[in-house]
Chains A and B, each alone.
Chain A
Amino acid sequence: MNDMLTDTNALANADAPSAVTSYDGAAAQLFRKVGKQKVTAEVATKRMAWVAELYAVRDNKDRAAFAELFGHFAPRVKSFLMKSGASPDLAEECTQEVMATLWNKAHLFDPTKASVSTWIFTIARNRKIDLLRKQRRPEPEDLPWGPEAEPEAADAMGLQQETEQLGRALATLPEEQRRLIERAYFGELSHSEIAAETGLPLGTIKSRIRLALDRLRHAMK
């Protein structure tokens, strides 16, 4: 099962007419292998395809895979940065740096802890603090994930599905509530103005990560 996620050759080098169908195909295969879960195949396929593309970048410096990720994410990173107060020029420059960081830090990505969308968001957010607010960003210290913590395909799939569900829940929130959450992330609300109740079904991703951390602590004893 691990092989499907860590062996990029199986994913990226699958014989297929184009890069896109290749990644989608590999992800779909992965889904069939792992999943008897409730979220639809297309949904998991989309998110697992991003994971496969990122692994292809990490392992094979695959520029076609990078181009796929770039086409999908760069315009959204730029949009996020502009909504956070960056001028179009600064947002453009910053977006290119964010996408270059994705290439350079691909080895740090772990699909059992974040969806690709989440991971790119954290890179964009850190760049935003650096560039727009001109501040250092203290980060929590890294946990010493041991070899026991090799990504499990089922865990990765579960987290991708839960993130997709979170995204859908966000889209179906009443307009006013959704706006409030967006404003919090664009920096239009201070922490004391952020209401504690978000209306989002929070708790599923948290408990999954919590379990992984408990397993890690146990393994390190």
Chain B
Amino acid sequence: MTEMSKIKHHLTGPLLMGYAAGTLPEAFNLVVATHISMCDSCRAALAEYDAVGGEVMMSGAPVAVAEDALNATLALIDRGVVEEAPAKKTAGGIFPAPLQSYVNGDLESVKWRKVGGGVSQMILKTSDEASVRLLRIPAGTAVPDHGHHGTELTLVLQGAFVDESDRFAAGDVEVANEDMNHTPVAEAGLDCICLAATDAPLRFNGLMPRLAQKFMNI
């Protein structure tokens, strides 16, 4: 994990606040949790947004609980509930724990489907307000030029891509909005593997990509 300190592109304040508040779509939560697993600086920033949430909760006017609430809670405790332990990463994998739990394994467990142009994907199952997929872009390949209606988060897990704005390597997350059109190109070397979430269909520029869009289900 020596890559940690090299992370250059981080989550935005609004995304961290939304994650702390618990109001983001599940697909975005997965990208945020996966990035934070790789990035100490965003982990620390999240701790602060959690603290804001705690203080918002504390500043509200208290609402009386049921008269027997304390005893009911103690009874609940006495009944004994098994709390699940926090996720730990499987040794040797490249996917952080939250992603491993959605894939049911690491890179070798991904069921890739070809979507054209050498690009493969696997859509991960989340709530339907937004979608999230793993993308594998062969080294040196371009993803079709596309714009966005909503927000698109792209987290690099392996390799790197370059677009009009910058270079994105393992751990970096690109937050793209509707003002942005870009053509990401995977760098030579390793295939680029990304986790990408969007809350609206991508908008491809040109006829062929639009057909591809239909098949890619995005």
Contact = CB atoms under 8 A, between A and B. Distances in A.
Interface residues of A, number: 83
Contact of A184 (B21, B26, B36): B21
Q: Which of B30, B59, B98, B177 has the most CB of A within 10 A?
A: B59
Given A141-B89, A209-B48, A213-B43, 13 more contacts: A78-B63, A96-B76, A115-B51, A115-B54, A125-B21, A135-B29, A142-B97, A170-B55, A181-B56, A182-B59, A187-B22, A191-B15, A206-B45
B contacts with A: majority SS: helix
B86 A139 contact: yes
5 closest Cβ contacts across the A-B interface?
A75-B62, A141-B97, A118-B54, A191-B18, A121-B54
Nearest to B45: A206
A184 B18 contact: yes
Given A138-B98, A142-B88, A209 B56 contact: no
B208 interface: no
Interface stretch (B64-72, B107-115, B166-174, B183-191): B64-72
A137 B62 contact: no
Contact of B47 (A114, A133, A134, A191): A114
A contacts with B: majority SS: helix
Interface stretch (A13-21, A29-37, A98-106): A98-106
A91 interface: yes
Interface of A: 63, 66-67, 70-71, 74-80, 82-83, 88, 91-92, 95-97, 99-101, 103-105, 108, 113-115, 117-122, 124-126, 128-129, 133-142, 144, 162-163, 166-167, 170-171, 181-182, 184-187, 189-192, 194-196, 198, 200, 202-203, 205-207, 209-210, 213-214, 217
